[in-house]
Structure 1
C-alpha cells in the first residue's frame, strides 16, 4: 500500500470515526431520554413504532442506494453514463416514494390503532412525507460514497443526526408519549434534509442530473439491489415484531422493554458497521480489479470491524451496571443478563454481513437476497424453539444461534466461490 493510499484510509477512518462518535452519543442520549421519561413499559411500546420507522427508512426511495453506489464507483457522475445512471435512480426514487406514500397513507388507520393507540393516523401521514425526504436524500449520499468522499458523507450525517436527536430530546422533555412518537418518525428524515441542502448549495450538478429517464435495463439492475434492501428492511424487523408480540402477551411489556433496551444498544453500534460496509467497503470491493484485491479489502475491513466490536464489548461488559444506569435507568438493570449472547450474536452478524457485501459488490445479488431472507426466518424459528424453555433469554439466544449459523454458511460460500473463480 503506497503512502497516498494509506493517508486516504486514515482520513476516511477519522471521518467515519467522528460520525460514529456523534451518532453513538446522539443515539444514547435519545435512548436515555425515552427510557427516563417513559419507563420500560412505554419504551417497549415505542419499540414497535421504531421498528416500523426503521423499515420505512430503509425502503425509502426503493432502497436503491447500494446499487447506485456500485454503478457510480465504476462510472462516475462526471461521465455521460454516470449521469444516465443517476437519472434512472432519480426516476425510480420518485416512482417508489410516491407509491410508498400512498400505501402508508392508506394503511394509516390500521397502523395507528395497532402500533400507537390514541396517537392518531396523522402520525403515519407524517411518516409518508418523511420517507420521501429520506429517499431523495439518499441519492447525493450514494454519489458521495461512490467516489470515496467520506468527508461529505460524514458531515451530512453528523449534521442530520444532531438535528434529529435535538428534536427528539426536546419533544420528549417538553411533551409526552405522543410528541415522542412524532419526533421519532421525523428524526431519520433530518439526514435527508441536509443531503438535499448539500446538493442545492454545493453540488448543483446533482440536481441537473435529476432528469426523468425510463431505462429498463438500468432500472432492472437497480431494482435487483432494491429487492435485497427490501428483504433486509423487513426480514429482521418483522421477526422482532413477532417476538415482541409473543413476549408482550405472555410476559408483559416491561419484559419486552428490557429486551428492547438491548436491541437499541445493538442498533447504535451495528448502524456503524452497516455504514462502513455500505459506504467504504462496498465501493472498494466493487472497484477491485481482481480476486486478490477483493480478498485483501474484505479481510482487512472485517478484521478491523470485529476488533473494534470486541474492544467496545469488553469495556461495556466490565462497566455494564454503571453504563446501563447511565444510558437508561436502574429500572433497566435486569437487561444485563441479556448482554453476552446479544454481543456474541452481533460479532457473528458483522462477519456474515461483510461476506454478503462481497457478493453484492461483485454482482451476485441473489446470495445477498438469500442471506437477508434467512435472517428473519431463522430468528423466528430459533426464538420459537427456545421460548418454551428459556423465557426472557429466548430472543438473545435465537439471535446468537442465527448469526453463528449464518456466518459459517456465508464463509463456506465465499470459499467455494473464490475457488471457482480461481480455476
Structure 2
C-alpha cells in the first residue's frame, strides 16, 4: 500500500523544519560573523544586550500573545474578532509606551549594569523607537496562529529569516558589535511589515483603533495570560543576566563567553522545539479543553514529537565538535566540555513544555507562576552554589536539577487538574 502523507502533525513538522532551518542558518551566519569579528568577549556583550531586549520585548507584549492565539482560536464571528483585535492592540501599545518611558528614564543605569559603559546609548534610544512594532507583530501573528493559518506563519518567518541573513552580512561586517545590536533592534519591523501584509485581506474592514470595540471582559481574560507570559518571558533572560554576571565575577569573562556561546547554540535547536509547540500544540490544546482532548494532545506530543527531539539531540552530541567548529571556530572548542550537559537539560525542558502550555491554556495563573518561580529560583540559587564548587559545569548541574523539579511538579499538576 502506497504511503500517503496525510498526518497534519508531520506536514506541519515538515513545513516548520524549512522555516527553522532558515532561522538556524540566520543564527549561524550571525554567530559566525560575530565570533570572527568580535571573539568570545564580543559574544558575551552581545548576549547581555539580547537578554535585555528579550526581557523588554516580553514586557512590551504584555504577555498576552498566548491569550490572543486562544481567543482567536475560539472566536467564530467577525464582531468577536473585532473586539479581540482592538483590545489586544490598545493594551499592547499602552504597555509599550509605559515600558519605553521607564527604559528611557533609567537608560544610564541599564547601560552601566549591562555594559559598564554609555557608548551604546544611541542604540538603546533607537530600540525604543522600534519597540511599538512588537505589538503589531504579536497581534497579527497571533491572529494567524489562532485561525491556524500555519503556512502563512511559516512563510512570514522564512522571509523574515532571509532578510536577517542579508542584514547580518551588511551590519556585522560593517558595524561590528554595534551592527550586531542593530540587527536585533530592527528585526521586529520587518516581521511586523510581513505580518500586516499577510492579514491585509482577512482583516480588511476592521476598525483596529476604534475604542468602542475595546472589551473589558477580553482585557480581563488577557490579564491571566499577561501574568503568566510576562513571568516566564522575564524570568529567563533575567536569570541569564544574573548567572552570566556571577560567572564573570567568580570565574572570568572567557568562561562567561563560553557559557553564553552554549546558550546561543542551544537556542538554535530549541527554536525548532518551541516554535512547533507554539504553532501546532498550543492551538490544539486551546481548541479542545475537555480532559480526553488534552490527554490526546499530550500523548501525541510524547509519542510523535519527543522521539524526534531525542534523535536530534543525540546527533548534536555525536557531532558536537564539528558543530562548534562550524558555528564558531577553534577558540570555542571548550564548549564540548559542557555541551552534553546542556543537551540533557534541553531534553528535560522539552518534556516539560507541554505541561507548561496546559497551565497556560487553562489559565491556572497561580500554579504557573508558582512553578516558574520555583524552577528559576532553584536555577539561580543552585548556580551560585555549584559554580563556586564545580566551576562552569556547576551552572549546568543547577539547570538540570531545576528542570527535573519543574518537570515533576508540572506533570503531577497536569494529572491532578486534568479531570
Normalising by structure 2, report the TM-score: 0.93
Aligned length: 415
Matches within 5 A, 1:13-412: 13-76=13-76, 78-116=77-115, 117-200=117-200, 202-205=201-204, 208-212=207-211, 213-288=213-288, 290-412=290-412
Q: How much has 1:166 moved relative to structure 2?
A: 2.2
> How has the CA–CA distance of structure 1 residues 249 and 228 changed in structure 2, closer, same or farther, with 3 Å as cutoff?
same
Residues 8-63 of structure 1: per-residue CA shift (max 9 Å, x gap): 43432222121111111211221111112111111112211111122123333312
> How has the CA–CA distance of structure 1 residues 274 and 371 changed in structure 2, closer, same or farther, with 3 Å as cutoff?
farther
> How has the CA–CA distance of structure 1 residues 320 and 187 changed in structure 2, closer, same or farther, with 3 Å as cutoff?
same
> How has the CA–CA distance of structure 1 residues 366 and 279 changed in structure 2, closer, same or farther, with 3 Å as cutoff?
farther
Aligned 8 A contact 2:316 2:323 in 1: yes
Distance across 2 between alignment mates of 1:40 and 1:398: 23
Question: Could you tell which deviates more after superposition, 356-365 or 398-407?
Answer: 356-365
> How has the CA–CA distance of structure 1 residues 195 and 143 changed in structure 2, closer, same or farther, with 3 Å as cutoff?
same
> How has the CA–CA distance of structure 1 residues 335 and 4 changed in structure 2, closer, same or farther, with 3 Å as cutoff?
closer
Residues 304-346 of structure 1: per-residue CA shift (max 9 Å, x gap): 3322221111112111112101101100000111111111111
Q: How much has 1:95 moved relative to structure 2?
A: 0.9
Distance across 1 between alignment mates of 2:102 and 2:123: 14
Gaps of 5+ in 1: none
Question: Could you tell which deviates more after superposition, 143-152 or 182-191?
Answer: 182-191
Q: Secondary structure of 2:346's partner?
A: helix
> How has the CA–CA distance of structure 1 residues 105 and 289 changed in structure 2, closer, same or farther, with 3 Å as cutoff?
closer
Gaps of 5+ in 2: none
Distance across 1 between alignment mates of 2:363 and 2:245: 37
Q: How much has 1:207 moved relative to structure 2?
A: 5.0
Aligned 8 A contact 2:231 2:372 in 1: yes
Distance across 1 between alignment mates of 2:205 and 2:56: 24
Q: Secondary structure of 1:208's partner?
A: coil
Q: How much has 1:178 moved relative to structure 2?
A: 2.2
Aligned 8 A contact 2:232 2:372 in 1: yes
Residues 37-94 of structure 1: per-residue CA shift (max 9 Å, x gap): 1111111122111111221233333121100111111114x43222212211111112
Q: Secondary structure of 1:176's partner?
A: helix
Aligned 8 A contact 1:235 1:375 in 2: no
Aligned 8 A contact 1:57 1:188 in 2: no
Q: How much has 1:188 moved relative to structure 2?
A: 4.2
Q: Secondary structure of 1:140's partner?
A: helix
Distance across 1 between alignment mates of 2:265 and 2:206: 37
Distance across 1 between alignment mates of 2:4 and 2:73: 19
Aligned 8 A contact 1:324 1:332 in 2: yes
> How has the CA–CA distance of structure 1 residues 207 and 336 changed in structure 2, closer, same or farther, with 3 Å as cutoff?
farther
Aligned 8 A contact 1:236 1:379 in 2: no
Q: Secondary structure of 1:205's partner?
A: coil
Q: How much has 1:398 moved relative to structure 2?
A: 1.1
Superposed CA RMSD: 2.1
Q: Secondary structure of 2:210's partner?
A: coil
Q: How much has 1:374 moved relative to structure 2?
A: 2.7
> How has the CA–CA distance of structure 1 residues 96 and 378 changed in structure 2, closer, same or farther, with 3 Å as cutoff?
same
Distance across 1 between alignment mates of 2:202 and 2:169: 32
Aligned 8 A contact 1:199 1:206 in 2: no
Distance across 1 between alignment mates of 2:13 and 2:40: 36
> How has the CA–CA distance of structure 1 residues 275 and 301 changed in structure 2, closer, same or farther, with 3 Å as cutoff?
same
Normalising by structure 1, report the TM-score: 0.92
Question: Could you tell which deviates more after superposition, 249-258 or 178-187?
Answer: 178-187
Distance across 1 between alignment mates of 2:254 and 2:277: 34
Q: How much has 1:102 moved relative to structure 2?
A: 1.4
> How has the CA–CA distance of structure 1 residues 355 and 148 changed in structure 2, closer, same or farther, with 3 Å as cutoff?
same
